[in-house]
Amino acid sequence: MWVLLVLIVIVGLWVIAAYNGLISLKNQTVNAFKQIDVQLKRRHDLIPNLVNAVKGAMDFERSTLEAVIQARNQAVKVNASGPENVKQISQAENALSGALSRLLVTVERYPQLKATGNIGQLQEELTSTENRIAFARQLYNDTATQYNTKQQQFPTTLVTGLAHAERTDLWEIEDQAERAVPQVDLSRR
């Protein structure tokens, strides 16, 4: 009789611990996903200022700068249309990443430009902005993987129904062109 009671208490405590662990991971995953949004928003706010600051020094690369502004405006517009268009949003953001990396490559091509204070700063800010987004996605993927693994592992898998835990998707690069390893031609320099 006593043994049974002790057994029930132990199992009950384990269920509570497993349930709370899953809920905690679920909320961490949601939070990590929101962090990506925060960083994307930050990038949208930052780009106009950055481009304005270097407009004068980079007049001869006007088309690259305009491409960046255009991609940014497109991304803002798609984001404003609502969070349902996940596919369109990620396409617009990927296009913006592409435009920004072309700008970075352009800056690299003119070493004498770096002497102008603004350009060095631009380079640093661009690198940091892209890094932030990459790290936010990395954190989301790590957290989501942990959450998914926990759900599928025995014996935690027994309480997934109780915690309404569902598999979350990882962030993936949808654009095939971006997935390809970039070819950098070093002979130009």
Smallest distance from the beta carbon of 82 to other proteins, in angstroms? 25
CB of 115 to other proteins, least distance (A): 12
Q: Which of 24, 52, 70, 128 binds other proteins (CB under 8 A)?
A: 128
160 binds other proteins (CB under 8 A): no
Nearer to other proteins among residue 138 and residue 152 (C-beta): 138
**Dihedral class, residue 111 (left if φ above 0, else alpha if ψ from -120 to 50, else beta):** alpha
Q: What is the closest distance, in whole angstroms, from the C-beta atom of residue 142 to other proteins in the complex?
A: 8
Considering only 19-27, 73-81, 96-104, 117-125, which stretch makes contact with other proteins by CB under 8 A?
A: 117-125
Neighbours of 161 (CB within 10 A): 8
Angle, CA 125 vertex, CA 124 and CA 127 arms, to 5°: 65
Is there a contact between 176 and 91 (Cβ–Cβ < 8 Å)?
no
Please provide residue 149's backbone torsions phi and psi, each rounded to the nearest 5 degrees. Answer: -65, -45
* 1 three-state secondary structure: coil
Stretch that binds other proteins, among 16-24, 28-36, 95-103, 147-155 (CB under 8 A): 28-36
Give the C-alpha separation, 116 to 35, whole Å: 33
Among 77, 81, 135, 170, binds other proteins (CB under 8 A): 135
Give CA–CA dist 172/52, Å, rounded.
32
The binder of other proteins chosen from 67, 107, 136, 144 (CB under 8 A)? 136
Q: What is the dihedral of CA 148, 39, 128, 188, to 10 degrees?
A: 90
Interface with other proteins (CB under 8 A): 28, 32, 35, 39, 120-121, 124-125, 127-128, 131-132, 135-136, 138-139, 142-143
